[in-house]
Amino acid sequence: MIERTGNLAALASAVLQPGFVGTTPPAWICRWLGEGLGSVVLFARNVVDPAQVAALTATLRAERPDVIVAIDEEAGDVTRIESRLGSSRPGNHALGAVDDPALTEEVARDLGGELAGLGITLDYAPDADVNSNPANPVIGVRSFGAEPDLVARHTAAWVRGLQAGGVAACAKHFPGHGDTRVDSHHDLPRITGDRARLDAVELAPFRAAVAAGVQAVMTGHLLVPALDPELPATLSDRILSGLLRDELGFSGVVVTDAVEMRAVADRYGFAGATVRALAAGADAICIGGERADEGAARELRDAIVAAVVSGELPEERLAEAAKRVGQLAAWTVAARADRPLRTATGAEGSAVGLAAARRALRVTTTPAGRDALPLAAAAYVVEFEPPRNIAIGAETPWGVGAPLADLLPGTTTVRYAEATVPADPTAAAGDRPVVLVVRDLHRHDWMRAAVDRALAARPDAVVVELGVPALVTGAVHVATHGATRAGARAAADLLAGR
């Protein structure tokens, strides 16, 4: 019995993908790697610079050469590897706006080469959601767009590019998080479309990802009654085994979205959701965004072992999951061996990314704004700050004011949230050019009202939209399709006439 329990503990450890705190691996992670842990996931808190990340992953690999090192690096607004500066590559929405799959593949290959050089082998990307609901609070510019065919062709291109760069791709959030008004970090979203709608919209990009050879698929914590009226996708055998495996023909690793997210943890418990997900067909359990300690990992490992002993989780299912994780690990080892590892881009960022961001800019001008660009002098920049999106994180800088000040010295920037915005946000501008910077203007009534007041006072102001440009306003409107460092630099260059 002791020997069986030890074997089960090793299998249970193999299917966990825990995070940790710190810029070097803690002792418990190193110990667990020797005891069967197959994967770890890195977050922004683990990243300082390329040299530090490379040293961190080398330490992990010294404990287990085939360890899967995952990261949630979508490029765009969701960046972990460049969280301190902002992504030097445009995100999905910008690439979708350009709609050149060859460019999308090039950007993803560029990212894959950098991640591989840092020792990262699995990327929780691309986001394959169709952002068909413009009020979506958590997807937005993380999606390639609102059209299923567009999202499908760019999802496939991103998968091909990233994996050509030497890193396994992971399409998410299956079966599709785009048509929601709820963030699954906080509650359980419900997708109300019928099966025909799901086939035509939500599932199209995942079919394309599977056809492109994607190595992993991440589940969404979503209730989809047309597929399973009772259980969220992460915990549903009908969705993971019946739909994803049997119908779509996916044979790679199914990894859950973070299992501590409230959409599932509040209803089924931290450990309960983990056991149910494995029983339903998941192969790897992502944890550690919020619970990043050995106690959390031990709780899940012990719950998995207990579920097998009690018969709640078949041992063959656990063994199958661990085997798939092992197969992905072998793929990552071969991918690293087959490709020369390149040096990381460093603080200067990706030249490929900046060129792509420039192509993604869209400028809408009325007759009144025909002569507004380039700006004639140092500007007064007003940035409106929406509530934090937990998927993006609070640590990543954004905005146009800083790069514009580099080009037009004397440019000043103020930033207002809903509680701090004054009656006239432009009152202190004087006769300087005014730039109003917004993120998803269409989703925030307070921001729209503030911009309306600002434009009433300064109708010559330029509006720069860093989110989804669903609402175009002002005499000159510049859409970057994302709040990235690359997009901000491209917009600043445009405003300054550079």
Region of 445 please: left (phi>0), alpha (psi -120 to 50) or beta.
alpha
Residue 10 φ/ψ, nearest 5 degrees:
-65, -40
Per DSSP, the three-state class of 122 is strand
Rounded to a whole number of angstroms, the distance between the first and last alpha carbons of the chain is 71
406 is known as an active-site residue: no
Query: What CA dihedral angle connects 127, 129, 131 and 137, to 10 degrees?
Result: -70
Q: Which residue is catalytic, options 127, 129, 257, 440? A: 257
Q: What is the C-alpha separation between 274 and 235, in angstroms, rounded?
A: 8
Residue 255 bridge partners (DSSP): 218, 284
For residues 50 and 477, what is the distance between their CA atoms, to the nearest angstrom?
Answer: 36
The number of angstroms, rounded, from the C-alpha of 289 to the middle of its chain's C-alpha atoms is 13
Please identify which of the residues 93, 154, 185, 221 carries the catalytic annotation: 185
Of 110, 2, 20, 8, the closest CA to residue 56 belongs to: 20
Which residues, including other chains, have CB under 8 Å from residue 279's CB and lie 6 or more apart? Answer: 237, 307, 312, 313, 314, 317
Q: Is 338 an active-site residue?
A: no
Contact indicator for 51, 64 with CB cutoff of 8 Å: no
Cα(199)–Cα(208) distance, integer angstroms: 12
The owner of tokens 């009152």 is 427
CA atoms within 13 A on the CB side of 299: 17
**432 phi/psi in degrees, rounded to 5:** -75, 155
List the beta strands (DSSP E) in 142-201. Answer: 168-174
Q: Which residues, including other chains, have CB under 8 Å from residue 328's CB and lie 6 or more apart?
A: 68, 122, 168, 215, 216, 252, 253
Task: Tell me the catalytic residues.
Answer: 185, 257
